[in-house]
Every structure is written in C-alpha cells, then in structure tokens.
Amino acid sequence: MRDVSTIQDELDKKTNEFQVSQTQLQEKESSLVEAKLDIQHLKSEQASLELLLQEKDEELTEARNQLEEVNREVKELKMLMASREDLLTQATELLKEKDFHLNRIEDELGSSKMQASDAEMVVERIAELTSRLVQDQMQQQPLEKQPYGDYGMDNKRLVMELNFTIENLRLKEMEVLAAQRALSLKDEEINVLMGRLEAKEREIKKLKEETVHDGEDLKMLYALAQERIEGITMGDLAIEKLQLEAAQLEVEAATSALQKLVEMSTELLTQADMSMEVDSDIVVVPENENSSADCIAEVKSEVGRLWSLTKRLLENAGIADGAASTCINGL
C-alpha cells in the first residue's frame, strides 16, 4: 500500500509538473506568436523604410543631375560672360579707335575749313586788288581814248581770271586733302614700321646677348687651350721631336730613292747612246739618224723635266739643300 501511495504521489507530482510545463509551453507559444507578429511588423516597417530610402535615393540622384545641369549652365554662363567681356573690350577699343579717327577727321576738317577760309580771303583780296587795278586804269586813261568794248573785254578777262584762280584754289584744296590722307596713310605705315623696327631691335638685342654668351664661351675655350698648351710637359716635346726625326728619315729615304731613280735613268741614257752609236755604224740613211737623235734629245728633255719637277717637290717638302746637291751630283 505504501508503494502505491508513493507512486500515486509521484504521479501527482509529475502531473503537476507537466501541467506547469504545459502552461509554460503555452506561454512560450503565445510569446513566440507575439514575437512573430512583431517580426512581421518590423519587416513591414523595414519594407516601408526601404521604399522611402529608394525614393530618397531617386530624389538625391535627381538633385545631383539637376546640380550638374546647373553647374554646366553656370560654366556656359561664365564662358558667355567671358566672351561678352572680350566683345566689350573689343568694342571699347573700336570705339576708342573710332573716336581717335573722328577727332583726326574733325581736326582735318577744321584745318580744311581754315584753308578754305584763307582761300576765300585770298580770292576776296584778289578781287579787291583787281577792282582797284581796274579803277586805277580807268582813272589813268581818259574815257574818249578807251571805248566801252575794251572795258567789257577787260571785265570778262578779269572774271575769267578770278574763276580760274578760284578753280585753282579748289584744286589746291583737293590736293591738300589728298596730301592729308596720304599723310595719314603714311602715319599708319610708319606705325607699322615702328612696330617691326621694335621687333627687329628686340631680335638684335637677343642676338647681341647670344653673341656675348658665345664670346664668353670662346674665351673659356681659349683659356682651356692656353692651360693645355702650358700643361705640355717635356715628355710631350720629346715625343714631338722623335716624330719630326722620323719624318726627316722618311724624307731622306725618299731622296735616296729619287737618287737611285736618277742613276737608273742615266744608265738607260748611256745604254741608249751606245745603241744609237751602233745603229749609226750599221744604218746609212741619214733620216733615221736624225730621228734617233731627236728621240734621244726628247728623252733627255723628259728626264730633265722629271728632275725639275722632283726638285720642285723637294723644295716644297722642305728638304735640305745637301740632299738636292747630292741628287744633282748623281745626275
């Protein structure tokens, strides 16, 4: 009975524990459901936030595009403003030039007006003097001696002279205006030439500077050459002396070779003389004898010419007179 009661107690205890765990499990399940609901709610909030973020990104990209477009427009406006400023400066320069030319033209017109007024005064003066001259002539000559037709002719002549003088003055005025225009053109040409002259002066100045630099370089090279010449040692001088002695030995060898050549030529000449003597004993025809003598004379002249050329070469080479005299004695 005790065992049954203990088992029953344990069973009741286990049942109570199971119920407690069951209630805990239900609580866990309910909390899990709540957590799942919370997760779904958070996921929905995350999706909505992602949508909002995407919208903000799109707005940001659009704003960046608008900003780039605005920057491009600003650059274009700056370039346009710079070009307008350049045009404005050019226009101001043109206006200044136009004002300058206008002032010059006004000055020329003023001078022309002054010249025209001077010309009118001269014409009036000429007319006045002419009228006085006519009056003086009329007063000097009596009326009965000078008919009316002569006065008319004189008046016409004076009018023609006045018109001719006025026309000459107009031509002079036109020539003065043309001369003024030519002077203005000459002034422009002079300005252009002055600009070219300034450019040439700059080039000449640059060339002078380069020449000065070249002169300094030449001075440095000269100084280096002087140092090199001063730095030649006795050993270098001895080497040069040996080279000169070797050259003189070569010259002496050449003279001895020439002397041998001359000796051989003399031997050939003697043999030719002997053969010619034998031929003269055998051959009787005088024409062949004369031709042989001519050949010998020609050979001798050629040998003499060869020796003169050799002597000239020896003199040009600077060989001593002793060698030349030796060669002459050999001949």
Dihedral angle computed from the Cα positions of residues 121, 124, 128 and 130, in that order, rounded to the nearest 10 degrees? 110
Domain count for the chain, please give it: 2
Residue 6 lies in a domain: no
pLDDT for residue 279: 45
Distance, in Å, from the CA atom of 250 to the CA atom of 237, rounded to the nearest integer, reads: 20
pLDDT for residue 175: 79
Q: Domain span at residue 269?
A: 239-330
Task: Report yes or no: 152 and 120 within 8 Å, Cβ to Cβ.
Answer: no
First-residue to last-residue Cα distance in the chain: 178
Handedness of CA 261, 266, 267, 271 (dihedral sign): positive
Residue 126 lies in a domain: no
- The domain boundary, picked from 110, 137, 168, lies at 110
- The domain boundary, picked from 110, 129, 155, lies at 110
pLDDT for residue 99: 76
Query: What is the pTM (predicted TM-score) of this model?
Result: 0.28
- The domain boundary, picked from 75, 110, 145, lies at 110
Residue 43 lies in a domain: yes
pLDDT for residue 83: 82
Residue 324 lies in a domain: yes
Residue 259 lies in a domain: yes
**What pLDDT tens digit does each residue of the chain (331 aa) get?**
567 888 888 888 889 988 898 888 888 888 888 888 988 888 888 888 889 999 988 998 998 898 888 888 888 888 888 888 888 888 788 878 877 877 887 787 777 678 767 767 776 777 677 677 767 666 665 544 445 455 567 667 777 777 777 787 778 778 778 877 877 787 787 777 777 777 766 876 776 676 666 656 666 765 665 565 555 555 565 666 676 666 666 656 656 655 666 566 566 556 555 554 544 444 343 444 455 455 556 555 655 665 665 565 556 555 444 444 444 444 4
The DSSP string of 61-83 is: HHHHHHHHHHHHHHHHHHHHHHH
Residue 115 lies in a domain: no
pLDDT for residue 202: 80
Nearest alpha-carbon partner for 165 in 135, 126, 198, 129:
126
Nearest alpha-carbon partner for 113 in 181, 161, 121:
121
Residue 204 lies in a domain: no
Residue 223 lies in a domain: no
